[in-house]
């Protein structure tokens, strides 16, 4: 039985931020696009995604923490309250009198009247012993949909098939711009049919976003790590930075350090529920020294080291 915390390399006390960081790190490492043809990496990526999908959802995480993987399945219940076993081994419906049970009686009465069980004096004017069938809303339906990183940022229409009652219905659903991994999209009235004139339930789509090989998200903000030459880091420069839409020019000051973070305003994802509002993009610098240098260039670097020594710990 899988331990989802162990899959992500986390203690059971890990919070949502730790879970997100571990997922992003492992997803980038084992992403199929980075490990083309590697079946082991592909299986590991699926395992990581499965663990994250459970632990990143507060309701599912609570259930997992309480019951473990066993809490996501189990045997169905047998005959419930309100049924009696007959001598022949079968079940038969029982008539109940809920009049003297107060609010609890009303609750049980509504549940059992869904099956047409007789309830005496259910409402004023109802004849004694008359069967009552209340309007009951249909159950909600839950389904999963997988989209790409860019599709989550810009929105996308997806086509899905949903079983409603005894029929399968083909739906086109618009996934709004700005959804993130684990977001839920509600489609009103596309769940299971209601009973006795009750409304149909709703359809809830849980969105799974495929990680990007370069970008990652924290809320509506988008992050990317960009390589910078040692010359540009020392002297300062204007560099080109990829964004989710195209490319942008960004100035870095002289003396830029590796791991330094710069903000490009308004280049993040749309903020759900806030029309016209978007997050920002953050660029993290990664200083990359030259790997191949001539003997002459090497001598120049050696002379510079002698002429201009400095302590990298000095701020």
Segment 85-139, tens digit of pLDDT: 333 444 444 444 444 444 444 444 444 444 444 444 444 444 444 445 567 888 9
Length of the chain: 315
Given 168, 192, 210, which residue is the final one in a domain? 210
Q: Which domain holds residue 202?
A: 135-210
- Residue 82 in any domain: the answer is no
Task: Summarize the confidence of residues 27-45 as an average pLDDT.
Answer: 83
Q: How far is Cα 62 from Cα 282, in angstroms, rounded to an integer?
A: 32
DSSP structure string for 218-285: ETTEEEEEEEEEHHHHHH-EEEEEE-SSSEEEEEE-TTPPTT-EEEETT-SPBPTTSTT-B--EEEEE
- The pLDDT of residue 57: 87
- The pLDDT of residue 85: 37
Structure letter (DSSP) for residue 118: B
Which range among 7-21, 60-74, 97-111 shows the weakest confidence by mean pLDDT? 97-111
Question: CA–CA distance from 43 to each of 22, 38, 47, 298 (Å)?
Answer: 17, 9, 6, 45
Q: Where are the extended beta strands (E) located within the chain?
A: 83-85, 91-93, 141-147, 156-164, 167-175, 184-187, 203-209, 216-218, 221-229, 237-242, 247-252, 261-264, 281-288
Given 195, 210, 225, which residue is the final one in a domain? 210
Q: How many domains does the chain have?
A: 4
Provide the mean pLDDT of the chain. 81
Please check whether residues 226 and 254 belong to one and the same domain. yes
CATH number (domain holding residue 174): 2.60.260.20
Tens digits of residue pLDDT in 262-300 = 999 999 999 998 988 999 999 999 999 998 899 999 999
- The pLDDT of residue 135: 79
- Residue 61 in any domain: the answer is yes
Given 210, 227, 260, which residue is the final one in a domain? 210
CATH number (domain holding residue 36): 1.10.287.110
Task: Summarize the confidence of residues 255-261 as an average pLDDT.
Answer: 95
């Amino acid at each position: 039985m899988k331990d989802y915390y162990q899959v992500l390399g986390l203690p059971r006390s890990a919070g949502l931020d730790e879970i997100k960081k571990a997922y992003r790190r492992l997803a980038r490492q084992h992403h199929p696009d980075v490990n083309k043809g590697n079946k082991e990496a592909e299986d590991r990526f699926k395992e990581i995604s499965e663990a994250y999908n459970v632990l990143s959802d507060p309701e599912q995480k609570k259930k997992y923490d309480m019951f473990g993987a066993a809490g996501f399945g189990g045997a169905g219940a047998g005959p419930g309250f309100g049924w009696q076993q007959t001598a022949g081994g079968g079940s038969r419906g029982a008539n109940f009198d809920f009049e003297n049970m107060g609010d609890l009686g009303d609750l049980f009465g509504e549940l059992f009247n869904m099956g047409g069980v007789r309830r005496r004096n259910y409402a004023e004017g109802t004849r004694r012993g008359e069967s009552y069938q209340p309007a009951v809303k249909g159950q909600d339906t839950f389904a999963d949909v997988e989209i790409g990183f860019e599709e989550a940022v810009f929105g996308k229409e997806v086509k899905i098939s949903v079983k409603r009652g005894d029929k399968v219905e083909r739906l086109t659903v618009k996934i709004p711009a700005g959804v993130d991994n684990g977001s839920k999209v509600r489609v009103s009235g596309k769940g299971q049919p209601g009973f006795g004139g009750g409304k149909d339930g709703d359809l809830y789509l849980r969105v799974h976003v495929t990680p990007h090989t370069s970008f990652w998200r924290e809320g509506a903000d988008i992050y990317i790590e960009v390589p910078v030459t040692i010359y540009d880091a020392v002297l300062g420069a204007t560099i080109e930075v990829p964004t989710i839409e195209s490319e942008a020019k960004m100035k870095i000051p002289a003396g830029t350090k590796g791991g330094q973070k710069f903000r490009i305003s308004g280049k993040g994802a749309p903020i759900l529920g806030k029309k016209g509002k978007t997050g920002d993009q953050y660029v993290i610098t990664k200083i990359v020294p030259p790997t191949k240098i001539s003997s002459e260039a090497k001598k120049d670097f050696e002379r510079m080291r002698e002429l201009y020594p400095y302590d990298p710990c000095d701020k």
